[in-house]
Chain A
Amino acid sequence: MTTAAPPAPPKRIPPPPPPHVHPPGNAGARTTRKQIPALAIIAILVVIGLAAGLVAIFKPGPPIGDCPGTGACAPPEAVPLAAGVASPKNDLGFSFLYSAGNFYAPTTSADKRDITLTGKNNAGDQWVVRVTGVPATGNSPPDLVSKRKSELVAKYGSLEDDAASETHLVFPSIGHVAAVGGSYKTDVFANGPTGDIARIAIFAAGNTKIDLVVSVEVETSSSTFNDKADAAHCDGWIVVRCRRSTADLILDSMQWP
């Protein structure tokens, strides 16, 4: 005797799964959680490569052409470096050329790391360019600038920021190495006649071996100094980028160790 098998229950159709508001675990179906840092790292590597390429391209090389107005300036072709006189040798290994027509014989410290050049013209204007080298293990370029500024404040009494003048430093450089620095003036010229002013530029740079600080002081009569006129004629006193200024040859011909 057999009994009839009970009828199979009707197949239940499972309800459809709830819809996703957004794809689960996959933001916008665009990136996965592992792709985000991977993509970021790839992008960073690309940026590093581009930056390295640009630095290699713009790395200071043999100076050619005129100053582009941005970055370190190359020396002018019109001023052959051979026209300069070489500075005294020193143990740090830096040297530069200067125009013998603009300066008296240099005075140096005993170790020849500190070189001072002075000059004077028929109008009574005087200028002093002082170049000092120190090992790179010493102070940083900003420290050297501050130190030199303090020395000059002691000499002149006070220094007023001259960054707004026509002759302010835009891209100071020493031997085609970017420098830090600033320009100053003072009308408290303790050792000169009333009304005389001093225009001063201080800048410093360094490589892995040495740091250099250069100060340029120009003492002149305020009545004969005109920012715009001097800048226009490119014979201003502390316009570092000015071709015929007294310091240009020194700055452009600087040889780093």
Chain B
Amino acid sequence: LLAHWWHAGTVDEKSSTFGSGEFVTSTPPVDNRPTVTCPGCGLETPDLSFCVRCGTTLGSARPAKHRIWRKEFAAAPRERTWAPHIISTLFPQLPDHDMAGFGIALFVGLAVIVVLAAARLYPIALTVACALLPILMVLYLYSADIYEREPLRVIGATMLWGAIVGVGLGLWLHNVGVSLDPKGLNQFSDADTWVRLVAVPLTGFALAVVGLIPLLRYRRYNDVLDGTTFGAATGITVVCVQTIVQAWPLLYAGFRPHGATAQWTVELIEVALLLPLIWAASVGMSGAALWLRFRAPVRDRTKLGPVGNPIVALISAAVILVAAYIGWQELTLWPGLVFLAFVAAAGVVALRYAIHVGLVEESDEIEIGPDVVCANCHRETPLHTFCARCGVALKALPKAPPAGENQ
């Protein structure tokens, strides 16, 4: 990861695992560029490594039957679509090398949490666990300029709203009693079980989705990618703020309250990474469905299949969320960790699929434009939907910088 991070931007196409085309050092005029018929979309595209219209790898022995089945993840062609990579799913709108930077930041954050837990500084470790992903999300929104020069509107509707919801849920949980043991449904009364495992997650989920609706009004946020990003940011903030508010009394116990280090470490990892991922996937998928239904062209509205239907998506996401909490509560420490990791991985893949389909299906039906420099691989590519050199979706790159900041 480190090597990739430092050497990003200097990748030779010949050594690339995904480039199969000829390395072109000079770009002929667009009109004279040799073209081929893309096996994915059946349209003419410059004879380079990837189809500029659908991102299909040109010259591959067995082209995908449909362009959404291309192996390369549209937002990060180095990775497979169905692999549960966290960084490129949570932060898709970044060039490769910046994704590596976020990966390092996440790794360092988790390492800090483990070290703090090993030192038995549990209250501090828990605070860092609850802050880690929100910090990275804020950095991402800023770095990739997701909010397009309107930070108050976007961050207000996503992370600030998520924080308000999280505070409310955390305070609510203060009055639901204390579990005898972290695991096991029999530790709660029926009423407490209902509140903790069903009512609180569903209320948080519903309020998180409600926070996205105002952003649907704005045409500038018209990509499915915008919906998934806003949903993921809101979901992460809700669960992290809820956890820190719920755990607030821990601060009264001093720097080193009692507890087994292994148990604390496992639960801190769950709080820092797995639960936020599940929330990000649930709310992000719902955001994708809403954006596909209300912001995408009519022809694209069925592209996500049944999950693209907002009603189906919302119900599915809610069921996944509640199931995750029930499994987590019912299982003991290590099985609970494995279960949450499985649900989180499945959620990441689902969210990744929504991003991928959104990027592929939103390919503009426009003429191929003049050559430009791709922000991901730094090589010239005809301006269209995908980079013909590295295969990244050009929409999955930072938005244009504000005037005066270019270069």
Interface membership of B175, Cβ < 8 A: yes
B249 with A25: CB separation less than 8 A: no
B380 with A22: CB separation less than 8 A: no
Q: Which stretch, B138-146, B222-230, B302-310, B349-357, touches the partner chain A?
A: B138-146
Interface membership of A153, Cβ < 8 A: no
B401 with A23: CB separation less than 8 A: yes
Interface membership of A207, Cβ < 8 A: yes
Which of B104, B112, B144, B253 touches A44 (beta carbons < 8 Å)? B112
A-contact 0/1 string along B369-407, CB 8 Å cutoff: 011111100101001000000000010011111000111
**Which of B108, B109, B145, B177 has the most chain A CB atoms inside 10 A of its CB?**
B177
A25 with B95: CB separation less than 8 A: yes
B-contact 0/1 string along A137-175, CB 8 Å cutoff: 000111001100100000000000111100011111000
A163 with B188: CB separation less than 8 A: yes
Which of B136, B178, B380 touches A169 (beta carbons < 8 Å)? B178
B-contact 0/1 string along A14-37, CB 8 Å cutoff: 000111111111011111011111
**Which of B9, B188, B253 has the most chain A CB atoms inside 10 A of its CB?**
B253
Interface membership of B94, Cβ < 8 A: yes
B372 with A163: CB separation less than 8 A: no
Q: How far is the CA of A145 from the CA of B187 in the complex (A)?
A: 12
Which of A22, A54, A171 touches B397 (beta carbons < 8 Å)? A22
Q: How far is the CA of A131 from the CA of B306 in the complex (A)?
A: 59
In chain A, residues 170-224, which have Cβ atoms closer than 8 Å to a Cβ of chain B? 170-172, 176-178, 180-182, 202, 205-208, 211
Main secondary structure on A side of the interface with B: mixed
A70 with B249: CB separation less than 8 A: yes
B383 to A: closest C-beta gap in Å: 7
Q: Which residues from chain A contact B63 at a C-beta distance below 8 Å?
A: none
A70 with B180: CB separation less than 8 A: no
B76 to A: closest C-beta gap in Å: 13
Q: How far is the CA of A34 from the CA of B97 in the complex (A)?
A: 10
Q: Which residues from chain B contact A71 at a C-beta distance below 8 Å?
A: 248-249, 251-252
**Which of A164, A177, A202 has the most chain B CB atoms inside 10 A of its CB?**
A164
- Counting contact residues on chain A (CB < 8 A from B), the size range is 35 or more
Q: How far is the CA of A169 from the CA of B179 in the complex (A)?
A: 9
Q: Which stretch, B44-52, B123-131, B323-331, touches the partner chain A?
A: B123-131
The 7 closest A-B pairs by CB, nearest first: A206-B258, A40-B105, A36-B101, A182-B180, A28-B398, A164-B189, A22-B375
Beyond the given A44-B135, A52-B124, A70-B249, please list 18 additional residue pairs across the A-B interface where CB-CB is below 8 A.
A21-B394, A23-B406, A25-B375, A29-B401, A36-B98, A37-B108, A44-B108, A48-B112, A51-B123, A51-B124, A59-B254, A70-B248, A140-B258, A140-B260, A141-B259, A145-B181, A170-B174, A182-B180
Residues of B whose CB lies within 8 Å of any CB of A are 5, 8-9, 27, 94-95, 97-98, 100-102, 104-105, 108-109, 112, 116, 123-124, 127-128, 131-132, 135-136, 139, 142-145, 174-175, 177-182, 186-192, 248-260, 263, 370-375, 378, 380, 383, 394, 397-401, 405-407
10 of the cross-chain contacts (CB-CB < 8 Å) are: A19-B372, A21-B394, A33-B5, A35-B101, A39-B139, A43-B135, A44-B112, A54-B251, A142-B181, A163-B177
